[in-house]
Structure 1
Amino acid sequence: MVGRTRNTKSKRATLADVAKLAGVSAITVSRVLNHPDKVSDDLCHRVREAIDTLGYIPNQSASSLASARSQVIGVAIPSLSNVVFNDVLRGIYDVAGAGGYKVLLVDTHYSPIEEENMIRTLLSQSPEAMIVTGGDQTRACQRMLSSAAIPVVQMMEILEEPLDMNIGFSHFQAGFEVAQKLMACGYQRIGFIGARMDTRVQQRMAGFKEALQTQDLYHSELFTTTPSPSSIALGGELLRGLLSTSGGKLDAVFCCNDDLALGALFESQRMHLSVPKDLALCGFNDFETSAFVNPSLSSVHVPRYEMGVQAAQMILNVLKGVPNKEKQVDIGFEIRMRQSTRMASA
């Protein structure tokens, strides 16, 4: 047909092509790609300029086979849409990138089976290390991680028996201490709102419940949970339901995350309930928004960026033969009491 030409593929540029265009050896190109700190700035510039000109894509598989190093760190998190993991990932990327490593990221959708499948896929890419979330992997997944014979960091929570290295905090203790704070403020009819209900949320709820039980203040009808993903809208819905089942006899509510707490706050305002006079609220994760709503929201702050930084640094230390001072790090948490609870005026 007139005006149509045959679509042909251009030949893929090779490492030798880059070397020829840059006027250097293939070994120099390889060093620029894998160990740029060992090559002069001038040579790096020439090689990278040639790479850009040719659109060269390194053959990572061939490089890995030749050097037995992939320079890849696999990372598995439960959700790419959950902003809680943004800061953690930023810390991992910052440290890994500065150390000359690439991050291969997968989303496990809060499913142990999906996590097993995704980690099997990651391990097939020969990563030099793995960072995974929590400790509720399937037994098959744990066996895979152990038999891979690479450094592994489990993050986001403190584990009794980590596979290798571990960094996080006690969600149980965080929930326990939130209940103590609310009771110290004088609240007695204290409820809990939870969504998604993954293992870490369950630990927060368990600690919260145990603290209330120590003062005989636990009432099962004041606890409401759902397996549905959390959202601001869901927070309002759950609060309205909780107020209905409790007959309105509710002093304070601990929400398992700030999404739900913000929804509960907005719903309280729609219902003309004064926070904290009529109802105190506390969230978890301490999103930036929580400090700027009116009234400002009490929440549990976790140093998520620092957790990501330390998780990646623990990995790099092992890969570089530098011993870690500790194989398990409790990064801690801080309960930030603001205007949504009476503690702010104490």
Structure 2
Amino acid sequence: MTASKNDKKHRTTGRPTLNEVARRAGVSPITVSRALRGIPSVAEELAQRVREAASELGYVANPAARALASARSQTVAVLVPSLGNQLFVETLEAIHAVMRPRGLEVLIGNSHYSRDEEEDLIRNYLAYQPRGLLLTGFERTESARRMLDSSGIPCVYMMDLDSGAGLHCVGFSQIRAGAAAAEHLISRGRRQMAFVGAQLDQRTLLRGEGFRRALQQAGLYDPALELLTPRPSSVGLGCELFAQLMASHPQIDAIFFGNDDLAHGALLEAMRRGVKIPEQVAVIGFNDLPASSFTVPRLSSIRTPREAIGCRAAQLLLALIAGQPIAEPVQDIGFELMAREST
């Protein structure tokens, strides 16, 4: 029997082809492509046959070749500042759950809270012509902004809001969230309130700004009660900063930590030192990580909608990719104050 052109290509490259998978499964090549991309329009029985044929042949799709053939990729790029932070993991899971059934692959970039690293990631990903980009916040280099503006690729910004820049974004007001923390502590009768922030990314600084404004409005702001460090946020750092703050300002009766992991560390250090929470010092965190409802005492925190942000941002990006009109380019999902035992 005469070998086909595709069979010869297989022997030359050592790789099975999409056409060979189609022949083995008894379906068309386009069905193979759709089935392996997880597009739900393919009947499950056919999709299973395709998966089995691909497995038997050891077939692996070549996304670069597919993009070249169609003149567009089947990927979206998502840039986050950390993969070690639970809140971004939850957001990424939600994005993947929306994109995968549409046949789109998610490329994840970690900027490590560095604007220069993010600029490099944007440059590299734009070279692959993704269908769209999901970016965290608005703080980036001018070069990165120019690349995004000139690319023509749809972008959606997550975690923060900016109604004045003409951008598409999904998130909540970091300033209002910080103010809510201050208002909660004031309502509990606290008068000597400190703010502790680490990492010092733009979102943390905005939380602190909201906290500061609310204290100023109440006539309770003391600039000496702000403790800021660019070091990465962690439980260990929270222990250290709590001890430092109590040594320098023993009169404080409440602390707002810019991240829950810092607050978790503070609760542990307070226990070691015999500082009663909340009788002596009330403690409130930010993000309401899963462990916060199980600490001793249970931590009050600002709950942020990480999963909802990922889902809504992905849906908004899909609408932009499809060229649909956008009624709400700025989507404020809000936040929730979780008052527990620590305040």
**TM-score in same-fold range (> 0.5):** yes
For 2:261, the equivalent position in structure 1 comes to 259
**Alignment size in residue pairs:** 332
Task: Tell me which of 111, 120, 123 is aligned to 1:120.
Answer: 123
What residue ranges of structure 2 are gaps of 5+ in the alignment? Answer: 1-11
Does the aligned pair in 1 maintain the 2:267–2:296 contact within 8 Å?
Answer: no
Letter in 1 for 2:145: Q
Letter in 1 for 2:77: G
Shift of the alpha carbon at 1:43?
3.4
Measured against aligned partners, the alpha-carbon deviations of 1:231-289 in whole angstroms (never above 9, x if no partner) come to 1111111011111111x111100000110111111111111111111110000000121
Partners in 1 of 2:324 and 2:83 — Cα distance? 31
Greater alpha carbon shift after TM alignment, 271-280 vs 60-69: 60-69
For 2:277, the equivalent position in structure 1 comes to 275
For 2:87, the equivalent position in structure 1 comes to 84
Does the aligned pair in 2 maintain the 1:195–1:229 contact within 8 Å?
Answer: yes
Shift of the alpha carbon at 1:290?
0.9
Partners in 1 of 2:144 and 2:229 — Cα distance? 27
Task: Tell me which of 323, 337, 340 is aligned to 2:339.
Answer: 337
Partners in 2 of 1:43 and 1:219 — Cα distance? 67
What residue ranges of structure 1 are gaps of 5+ in the alignment? Answer: 1-8, 342-346
Q: What SS does the corresponding residue of 1:76 show, helix, strand or coil?
A: strand
Letter in 2 for 1:70: S
Greater alpha carbon shift after TM alignment, 135-144 vs 298-307: 135-144
1:173 aligns with 2:176: yes
Q: What SS does the corresponding residue of 1:187 show, helix, strand or coil?
A: coil
Does the aligned pair in 1 maintain the 2:81–2:112 contact within 8 Å?
Answer: yes
Task: Tell me which of 156, 161, 175 is aligned to 2:159.
Answer: 156
Normalized against structure 2, the TM-score is what? Answer: 0.92
* Structure 1 residues 38 and 87: alpha-carbon distance in aligned structure 2, compared to 1, 3 A threshold: closer
Partners in 1 of 2:189 and 2:45 — Cα distance? 68
Q: What SS does the corresponding residue of 2:109 show, helix, strand or coil?
A: strand
For 2:3, the equivalent position in structure 1 comes to none
Task: Tell me which of 96, 99, 124 is aligned to 1:96.
Answer: 99
Task: Tell me which of 289, 292, 297 is aligned to 2:291.
Answer: 289
Does the aligned pair in 1 maintain the 2:115–2:141 contact within 8 Å?
Answer: yes
Equivalent pairs: percent with the same residue? Answer: 43
Measured against aligned partners, the alpha-carbon deviations of 1:86-105 in whole angstroms (never above 9, x if no partner) come to 11111101111122211000
Task: Tell me which of 319, 323, 327 is aligned to 2:325.
Answer: 323
Does the aligned pair in 1 maintain the 2:38–2:102 contact within 8 Å?
Answer: no
Partners in 2 of 1:339 and 1:196 — Cα distance? 27
Does the aligned pair in 1 maintain the 2:39–2:101 contact within 8 Å?
Answer: no
Normalized against structure 1, the TM-score is what? Answer: 0.91
Matches within 5 A, 1:127-138: 127-138=130-141
Letter in 2 for 1:93: H
Letter in 2 for 1:143: R
Partners in 1 of 2:291 and 2:41 — Cα distance? 45
Partners in 2 of 1:174 and 1:31 — Cα distance? 43
Partners in 2 of 1:237 and 1:41 — Cα distance? 55
Matches within 5 A, 1:184-333: 184-246=187-249, 248-333=250-335
Does the aligned pair in 2 maintain the 1:152–1:163 contact within 8 Å?
Answer: no
For 2:9, the equivalent position in structure 1 comes to none
Does the aligned pair in 1 maintain the 2:34–2:103 contact within 8 Å?
Answer: no
Q: What SS does the corresponding residue of 1:284 show, helix, strand or coil?
A: strand
* Structure 1 residues 38 and 280: alpha-carbon distance in aligned structure 2, compared to 1, 3 A threshold: closer
For 2:145, the equivalent position in structure 1 comes to 142
Greater alpha carbon shift after TM alignment, 35-44 vs 133-142: 35-44
For 1:46, the equivalent position in structure 2 comes to 49
